[in-house]
């Protein structure tokens, strides 16, 4: 599977800012193939480059086509996007089902004009149609926002080495013995100030408090901080 097999096609895009943002989204997720069909402005232009930020190479290598058929002639699978269901016999696909697509072959993801979306004519060329789940009362997505969702989902499928972001700085996790010592200290302190009242609720309150701290996976440093805080509060109450 290769990132270069995935082609993103913008059909009759209307705003240069959206094109630039789309290029930036592609580069964020390691994609390089951007195609435009009959853009509604001179392309490229300053606004496109300005919003592409560090993705000027994507803009410079993008291809412009006069008609839709030419833009998909070298791909094996076309996935069209739509903000609404159509009364046509299209094969709909969920975003979660993108993993079924064979990305070893060339795949095109097609996005329509910002104002109207793809027509049934463009959808008729598609192997699949995807409608993103959105608020029923506000279903229209910004072009670049829609595109970046596809970039992210396909990136997860293609990238087998997704990094787990763990901090290398680690504190020693406390054992249950030390945690129970801390909880016993806390119970004793609360008893001294008369907090665990009335008596018939004392057992339940202690159990709830124990549950809270045992779920927290405290480090030794965190426990020392809490111990210092509660000790200070106890001393203030005594004074």
Q: How many domains does the chain have?
A: 2
* CATH number, domain containing residue 105: 3.40.1280.10
The answer to whether residue 21 scores a pLDDT higher than 80 is: yes
Query: What residue numbers bound the domain in which 225 lies?
Result: 176-238
- Identify whether 164 is part of a domain: no
DSSP 125: T
The rounded percent of the chain whose pLDDT value lies above 90 is 54
Q: What's the pLDDT score for residue 153?
A: 95
Q: What's the pLDDT score for residue 115?
A: 85
Neighbours of 190 (CB within 10 A): 18
Q: What's the pLDDT score for residue 165?
A: 55
Whether residue 141 is found in the same domain as residue 183: no
Provide the pLDDT confidence category of residue 35 given band limits of 50, 70 and 90: very high
Strands (E), 14-133: 33-37, 63-65, 77-81, 107-111, 128-130
Whether 43 and 18 have beta carbons less than 8 Å apart is answered as no
Helix or strand or coil: residue 15?
A: coil
- Identify whether 167 is part of a domain: no
Which residues, 6 or more positions from 221, have their beta carbon under 8 angstroms from its beta carbon?
171, 172
More confident residue, 86 or 12: 12
Whether residue 22 is found in the same domain as residue 67: yes
Helix or strand or coil: residue 89?
A: coil
Whether residue 29 is found in the same domain as residue 77: yes
Whether residue 108 is found in the same domain as residue 45: yes
Q: What's the pLDDT score for residue 175?
A: 84
- Identify whether 170 is part of a domain: no
Mean residue pLDDT across the chain: 88
Whether residue 185 is found in the same domain as residue 220: yes
Average pLDDT over residues 58-74: 95
Tell me how far apart the alpha carbons of residues 79 and 126 are, in angstroms, rounded to a whole number: 6
Q: Which of 158, 184, 200 is the last residue of a domain?
A: 158
Whether residue 11 is found in the same domain as residue 95: yes
Lowest mean pLDDT among 60-74, 139-153, 157-171: 157-171
Provide the pLDDT confidence category of residue 71 given band limits of 50, 70 and 90: very high
Whether residue 80 is found in the same domain as residue 14: yes
Average pLDDT over residues 39-65: 94
Q: What's the pLDDT score for residue 150?
A: 96
Q: Is omega for the bond preceding 198 within 30 degrees of 0, making it cis?
A: yes
Instruction: Name the pTM for this structure.
Output: 0.72
pLDDT digits (tens, 9 = 90+) for 159-196: 876 565 565 656 777 888 888 888 999 898 888 888 89
The pair of structure tokens assigned to 15 is 């705003």
The pair of structure tokens assigned to 104 is 């070893």
Whether residue 35 is found in the same domain as residue 105: yes
Provide the pLDDT confidence category of residue 24 given band limits of 50, 70 and 90: very high
Tell me how far apart the alpha carbons of residues 68 and 110 are, in angstroms, rounded to a whole number: 10
Lowest mean pLDDT among 8-17, 85-94, 190-199, 229-238: 229-238
* Partners of residue 79 on adjacent β-strands: 109, 128
pLDDT digits (tens, 9 = 90+) for 201-233: 889 999 988 888 888 878 888 888 988 888 887
Whether residue 93 is found in the same domain as residue 47: yes
Distance of CA 151 to the CA centre of its chain: 10
Whether residue 137 is found in the same domain as residue 184: no
Whether 123 and 72 have beta carbons less than 8 Å apart is answered as no
């Amino acid at each position: 599977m290769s990132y270069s097999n995935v082609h993103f096609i913008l059909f009759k895009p209307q705003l240069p800012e959206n094109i630039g943002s789309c290029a930036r989204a592609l580069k964020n997720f390691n994609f390089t193939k951007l195609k435009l069909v009959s853009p509604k402005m001179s392309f490229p232009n300053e606004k496109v480059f300005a919003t592409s930020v560090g993705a000027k190479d994507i803009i410079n290598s993008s291809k412009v086509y006069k008609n839709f058929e030419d833009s998909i002639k070298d791909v094996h699978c076309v996935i069209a996007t739509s903000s609404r269901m159509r009364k046509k016999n299209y094969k709909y696909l969920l975003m979660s089902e993108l993993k079924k697509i064979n990305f070893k072959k060339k795949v095109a993801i097609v996005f329509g004009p910002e104002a109207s979306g793809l027509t049934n004519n463009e959808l008729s060329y598609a192997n699949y149609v995807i409608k993103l789940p959105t608020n029923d009362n506000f279903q229209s997505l910004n072009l670049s926002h829609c595109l970046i969702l596809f970039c992210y989902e396909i990136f997860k499928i293609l990238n087998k080495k997704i990094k787990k972001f763990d901090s290398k700085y680690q504190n020693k996790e406390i054992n249950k013995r030390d945690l129970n010592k801390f909880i016993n200290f806390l119970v004793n302190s609360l008893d001294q100030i008369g907090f665990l009242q009335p008596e018939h609720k004392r057992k339940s309150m202690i159990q709830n408090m124990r549950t809270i701290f045992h779920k927290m996976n405290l480090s030794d440093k965190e426990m020392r901080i809490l111990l210092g805080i509660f000790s200070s509060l106890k001393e203030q109450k005594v004074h």
